[in-house]
């Protein structure tokens, strides 16, 4: 497939950077809102035909250069036997593992609960030739939800406490999550994804040295499995900060940078053979079109020196972002002359 997104991932120099957005398939799209009026969030994810439709909406309505599978990182905990409730305040596990005396015994792997994801991929591949990004959550982020139970406590205090109090059990849980994540990623590849992103949305929750010692080896097991199958991989360690110096070609092909770290500084820390993705502030899309254009222009010198770059936000598109602004942002990226 000849495509600017895949060419950039493979290290080829292109006339402009490709653009796609985390959470691009969601509430900012009017046609998604129409679907949500008919179906619940969980119904959209669990029904392959609907998940495929939502996945492709941003390609049709925004013009992004790649689609990312419409799913959720919490599919792994659910397939490990955990009960998940979708509430108005976000996902909730009513029986978090941190409150269990024997958390490992609570797990019951049910891999068939992932089948709807593979069927959705089949539907997408049948309908479209746009590059499709598969994904899953990295072990630290996945375990934070499994241990804490809810996402409203953004610092996950009970999960962090568990890591320190129960090191041996933590390592066993990491291993269980990693093994299933590898199976999940491998199956996504077999069903036809073109690239893979590993989301470590909470990399900044713990000290870098602890992350390096306990969690990074598990990350590398997942990334090795994906890349050994010939699929390029993007790693998104949000909040890793100076820990970006740990990101070498052994970890990933591209690393996605959050908005707290300037791309120029990230480029100094990350191994030169690893490409960068990001890192526009999601709140920029609330600004005027003139300010959005000025921000894009400010990135041109970076691209002219470092073409190994994919445009994205430093995190996901915010729920109440004006659709017109998102579309304008994507169009300006594609229409800008990046070589002058």
pTM summary value = 0.96
The mean of the pLDDT values for the chain is 95
Q: What is the pLDDT of residues 291-334, one digit of tens each?
A: 999 999 999 999 999 999 999 999 999 999 999 999 999 999 99
Q: What is the pLDDT of residues 42-101, one digit of tens each?
A: 999 999 999 999 999 999 999 999 999 999 999 999 999 999 988 777 788 999 999 888
Tokens 């080896």 -> residue: 217
Strands (E), the chain: 67-68, 85-87, 90-92, 132-137, 195-200, 233-237, 254-257, 275-278, 309-310
Specify which of 1-15, 79-93, 225-239 reaches the highest per-range mean pLDDT: 225-239
Whose CA is closest to 277, among 240, 314, 244, 243? 314
Q: What is the pLDDT of residue 247?
A: 98
Show the domains of the chain with their CATH numbers: 4-335 (3.20.20.210)
Give the residue numbers annotated as catalytic, written as ranges: 23, 27, 36, 72, 145
Q: What is the pLDDT of residue 104?
A: 87
Q: What is the pLDDT of residues 139-189, one digit of tens each?
A: 999 999 999 987 666 789 999 999 999 999 999 999 999 999 999 999 999
**Chain centroid to CA 249: how far?**
19
């Amino acid at each position: 497939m000849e495509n600017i997104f895949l060419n950039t991932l493979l290290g080829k120099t292109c006339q402009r950077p490709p653009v796609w957005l985390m959470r691009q398939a969601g509430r900012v799209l009017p046609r998604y809102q129409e679907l949500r009026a008919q179906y619940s969030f969980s119904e959209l994810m669990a029904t392959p035909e609907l998940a495929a439709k939502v996945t492709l909406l941003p390609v049709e309505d925004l013009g992004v250069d790649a689609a990312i599978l419409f799913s959720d990182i919490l599919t792994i905990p659910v397939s490990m036997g955990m009960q998940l409730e979708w509430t108005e305040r976000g996902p909730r596990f009513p029986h978090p593992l941190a409150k269990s005396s024997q958390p490992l015994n609570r797990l019951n792997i049910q891999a068939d609960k992932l089948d709807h994801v593979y069927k959705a991929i089949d539907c997408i591949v049948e309908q479209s030739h746009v590059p499709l990004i598969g994904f899953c959550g990295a072990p630290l982020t996945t375990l934070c939800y499994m241990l804490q139970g809810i996402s409203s406590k953004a610092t996950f205090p009970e999960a962090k406490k568990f890591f320190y109090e129960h090191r041996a059990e933590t390592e066993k849980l990491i291993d269980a999550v990693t093994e299933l994540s590898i199976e999940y990623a491998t199956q996504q590849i077999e069903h036809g994804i073109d690239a893979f992103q590993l989301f470590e949305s909470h990399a900044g929750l713990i000290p870098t040295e602890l992350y390096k010692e306990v969690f990074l080896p598990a990350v590398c097991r997942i990334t090795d499995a994906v890349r050994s199958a010939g699929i390029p991989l993007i790693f998104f360690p949000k909040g890793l900060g100076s820990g970006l110096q740990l990101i070498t070609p052994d970890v990933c092909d591209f690393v996605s940078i959050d908005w707290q770290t300037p791309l120029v500084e990230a480029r100094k820390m990350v191994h030169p053979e690893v490409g960068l993705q990001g890192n526009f502030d999601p709140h920029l899309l609330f600004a005027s079109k003139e300010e959005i254009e000025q921000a894009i222009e400010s990135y041109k010198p970076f691209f002219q020196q470092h073409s190994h770059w994919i445009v994205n936000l430093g995190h996901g598109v915010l729920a109440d972002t004006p659709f017109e602004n998102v579309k304008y942002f994507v169009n300006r990226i594609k229409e800008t002359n990046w070589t002058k």
